[in-house]
Each structure stands twice: as C-alpha cells, then as structure tokens.
Amino acid sequence: MNIDVDWGSFDNGNANLQSNAYRDAGSAPLGQNRYRSFTDIDIDLKAVKFDYTRTVAKGTLETGMKLSDVSTRNGASFFHLLPIADSLDDQRTNTFHYKEGVQAGYVNYKKTKGGWSFQGGVRVERTVSDGQLFFKASGKDTTQGIKRSYTDVFPSFSVAVKPAANHALSLVYARRIDRPAYQDLNPFIYLLDELSFWQGNPFLQPQLTHRVALQWVYKSGTVLSVAYANTDAFATRITDTLQGSKIVMIPRNLGVQKHLSLTLTHNLVFRKGWDATLSGVLFRVHNDIAFDAARPLELRQLAGRVNLQQRIKLPYQMTGEIGAYYSSRRLAGANEISRGTSGVDLGLQKTLLKTKGTLRLSVTDIYKGLRSRSEQQFNGFYLRNYGYYESRQIRLNFTYRFADAAAKGPRSRASALENENSRIK
C-alpha cells in the first residue's frame, strides 16, 4: 500500500514594453504606438494518491484512487503609453480565476499463465471546474463564469504471448484523456504586436483518444509495432484572421484526428565496442476538422522520422557517441505543413575516480539543421513561418555517485501531481 501526498506552486510574472512603428513604401515614418503590459500567473496544485496491490487468484490486483485540486489566479494589465500619462486599455485588461477538481478511481488485474500474460482494467474520473473572468464592459465591472462537470470512463486491456523462442507478441488497447494546459484556458489576449495576438480559450474541452497497438519483439533487440489512434475533440492552436487585417493564435477543438503509424527499433553491432540503435517511424495523419461551418478542412499527410544513435568504446575508459536524425515534411497541428529537419549530435564521456565520477562533453545540432520552416493556408489566407531556437549547444557535465552501486535506493515514486504538472507551459 502506497500513499503519496504532493503540493506544487507555480508563480510567473512578466513585464513588457513594446513599440510598433509604421512606415510607408519608401520607409518614411508614418507613426508609432507604444504599449506596456504586466502579466502574473499563480498556480497552486494539491493531490493525494492511494494505491493498493495484492495477490488474487495467482494474479495481481491493483486498485486505488486520486484526488487533485488546482487553483489558478491570472492577471493581465495593458497600458497605452501617452505623452502625459499611461492609459489603461480596458479591452485587454482583465483577471481570470480557475478552479478544477478531479476525483478518480481505478481497478486493474494482471495475470500470467503458461506463455500468456493478460491485463485489464478501468479508470473512472469525475471533473468539476469553475472559471471566472473579471473585466470592464462599457465602463462597468463585469464577471463572466464558465462551469463544467463531467464524468469519463477509461478502459484498458492487453494480452501478450511468446509463440516461439526469442519471439513475443502483444496487443494493447487504451482510452485516455488529454486536458488543456492551464494557460490555454486563460482568455487573456497577449499582444505579440499590433497585428498579431495570442489568446486563450476558456471553452477548450479535453481531447479523448482511443489507441490500439500490435507489437512484435525479437530477441529483445528488434521491436516492430503498428498503432492506430483516433482522437475526438482534437485540440490544437490555430492561426486565424481577426478584423480582416490582423491574425490571432488561439487553441480550439476542431474535430477528429486519425493517426496510423509503423515503428521499428533495431539494435546493431558493427564490431566489438561499437554498437548502435536504429529507430524509425512511418506515420500517416488524417485531420477531419473545421475552423467553422464555412471552413471545413480534410488534410492527409504521410511522413517519417529516423534516428541512428551510435556508441563507440575508446581507450582510457572513454566512450564516444554520435547521433543523427531526420524528420520528413509533415502535417503539424491543424493545417501547418512543416519542412523536413535533420541534425547531428556528438558526445564524449569518461569515467573518473574509480568509476564513481563521470565527465561528459557534448555538442548538439552541429550544423543548425533544426531550423523550423512551415506554411499554413486556407481560402484568402497564407502564412509562412521561420524560426530557430538554441538547439546548437556545447555542454560540459560532471556527475559523482556517493552511494555504493549495490546500495538500495528509495522506491520508484510517481508524483501525485505528474499529470497536473505536465499542463503547465
């Protein structure tokens, strides 16, 4: 029997001063508008989780429950900078409070008989949420509330068998829920510039996915799997027009996404001291979605990824690593077509101090192949994006192990807030 009690806090404040300058075709100044904004995000997370395991009919029965409570308080203030004094922008200034409670219980049973393994279970979750938006409308303080209450059931099962020596087959099915990030539920309008906005969506619903996978394993070194996932209320951030001359980026539930994939992982040995892991996936994405009733979209894209990770033993207790990877042109999000990317990483590692210390030098994305290039379009709209983040890095790490290698550590523990923490951006 395990009981986990966790509490977490996230606090983030941000101040921004922005200038928007306009010029004519000859680059002569036309005017300038300046804005100042202040945002504050405060998230409190609490959860308690109870898990109980015992042997029943020569199998393992697992059951438990979880209670979580999340409270967020967000404020955003926008000001126009004028020669005499700053002027508050009532259209964008507001406060949003959000509370969410989830009560969940599960039961799961696993049993092995002969060369077969079986598992089956079900999880039931009840969610209650309340969002309150405080803002000014026509000069008056106004409150708008959004309350929700829903219950979902998530079954799962798997069966595995070893039909022959060195072979294993398994079939897995599960239904899962992906709840929105807390910041995505915040209806604030964030000014990227005067023509581009990022906005949250308090009406965003969780997306629900059915997934089934068939897997074959050979000698623990080769894994081949086929998987299919169907996601209802598919949620992602879209880029849309606003007031004819502006664009807004907002998360929306759009429709259904279907995802079919073929994955291969294979271990290779070139010679003694030199081995590698080759992994690749070929997948097809089908988005049957709609921005609104007048703009249905049905997009299909076949894409793939491949990765080769090599490890080479060198003299003086050193190990070299070479990683190379490539992703093809693919459909991302709702209707964003991303160009292919690739990269190469290098690493050198040496053990020290009677193997208790490890010194590691690594260089990632050597030739800056992870530049992001994508396009989005629908009737009357075309957008091209380019971006590059700090993927090329040089890192030097030193690790020292104080405990003896045979020492027993604490139990492997999953935080009761693991799911809630993943919803913080």
pLDDT (0 to 100) of residue 109: 98
Model confidence band, residue 189 (pLDDT cutoffs 50, 70, 90): confident
* Residue 412: Cβ within 10 Å count: 5
pLDDT (0 to 100) of residue 92: 81
pLDDT higher than threshold 80 for residue 150: yes
Spell out the residues 6+ positions from residue 357 whose beta carbon is closer than 8 angstroms to its own: 351, 398, 399, 400, 401
pTM: 0.89
Secondary structure of the chain in HEC code, one letter for each residue: CEEEEEEEEEEEEEEEEEEEEEECCCCCEEEEEEEEEEEEEEEEEEEEEEEEEEEECCEEEEEEEEEEEEEEEEEEEEEECCCCCCEECCCCCEEEEEEEEEEEEEEEEEEEECCEEEEEEEEEEEEEEEEEEEEEECCEEEEEEEEEEEEEEEEEEEEEECCCCCEEEEEEEEEEEECCCCHHHCCCEEEEECCEEEECCCCCCCEEEEEEEEEEEECCCEEEEEEEEEEEEEEEEEEEEECCCEEEEEEEEEEEEEEEEEEEEEEEEEECCEEEEEEEEEEEEEEEEECCCCCEEEEEEEEEEEEEEEEEEECCCEEEEEEEEEECCEEECCCEEECCEEEEEEEEEEEECCCCEEEEEEEECCCCCCCEEEEEEECCEEEEEEECCCCCEEEEEEEECCCCCCCCCCCCCCCCCHHHHCCCC
pLDDT (0 to 100) of residue 410: 65
> Terminal CA-to-CA distance of the chain, rounded, Å?
33
Between CA 135 and CA 108 the distance in angstroms is 47
32 burial type by CB count under 10 A (0-12 exposed, 13-18 middle, 19+ buried): exposed
For residues 220 and 358, which has the higher predicted lDDT (pLDDT)?
358
- For residues 255-273, give the mean pLDDT: 95
- For residues 387-392, give the mean pLDDT: 91
Say which amino acid occupies 169: L
In this predicted model, what pLDDT tens digit does every residue of 306-350 receive, in sequence order?
A: 999 999 999 988 999 999 999 999 999 999 999 999 999 999 999
pLDDT (0 to 100) of residue 381: 85
Model confidence band, residue 192 (pLDDT cutoffs 50, 70, 90): confident
Q: Are 301 and 293 in contact (CB under 8 A)?
A: no
pLDDT (0 to 100) of residue 18: 87
> Nearest 10 degrees: CA dihedral of 386, 392, 393, 394?
-160
Q: Are 62 and 53 in contact (CB under 8 A)?
A: yes
pLDDT (0 to 100) of residue 349: 96
In this predicted model, what pLDDT tens digit does every residue of 67-123 receive, in sequence order?
A: 999 999 999 898 988 888 888 888 788 899 999 999 999 999 999 998 899 999 999
- For residues 280-296, give the mean pLDDT: 94
pLDDT higher than threshold 90 for residue 249: yes
- For residues 204-223, give the mean pLDDT: 95
**C-alpha dist (Å) from residue 75 to 11, 50, 101, 131, 236:** 12, 35, 22, 13, 24
- For residues 147-171, give the mean pLDDT: 95
Q: What is the CATH architecture assignment of 2-421?
A: Beta Barrel (2.40)
Spell out the residues 6+ positions from residue 157 whose beta carbon is closer than 8 angstroms to its own: 118, 119, 120, 121, 172, 173
Model confidence band, residue 253 (pLDDT cutoffs 50, 70, 90): very high
pLDDT (0 to 100) of residue 80: 85
Determine what percent of the chain is predicted with pLDDT higher than 90. 71
Averaged pLDDT of the chain: 92
pLDDT (0 to 100) of residue 86: 84
pLDDT (0 to 100) of residue 194: 83
Determine what percent of the chain is predicted with pLDDT higher than 70. 98
Between CA 259 and CA 211 the distance in angstroms is 9
41: which 2 tokens? 């995000």
The b/e string for 218-227 (b: 16+ C-beta within 10 A; e otherwise) is eeeeebebeb
pLDDT (0 to 100) of residue 287: 97
pLDDT higher than threshold 70 for residue 230: yes
pLDDT (0 to 100) of residue 91: 79
Of 187-196, 274-283, 403-412, the range with the lowest mean pLDDT is: 403-412
DSSP bridge partners of 68: 47, 102
Where are the chain's structural domains? 2-421
The b/e string for 108-119 (b: 16+ C-beta within 10 A; e otherwise) is bbeeeeeeebeb
Between CA 206 and CA 209 the distance in angstroms is 10
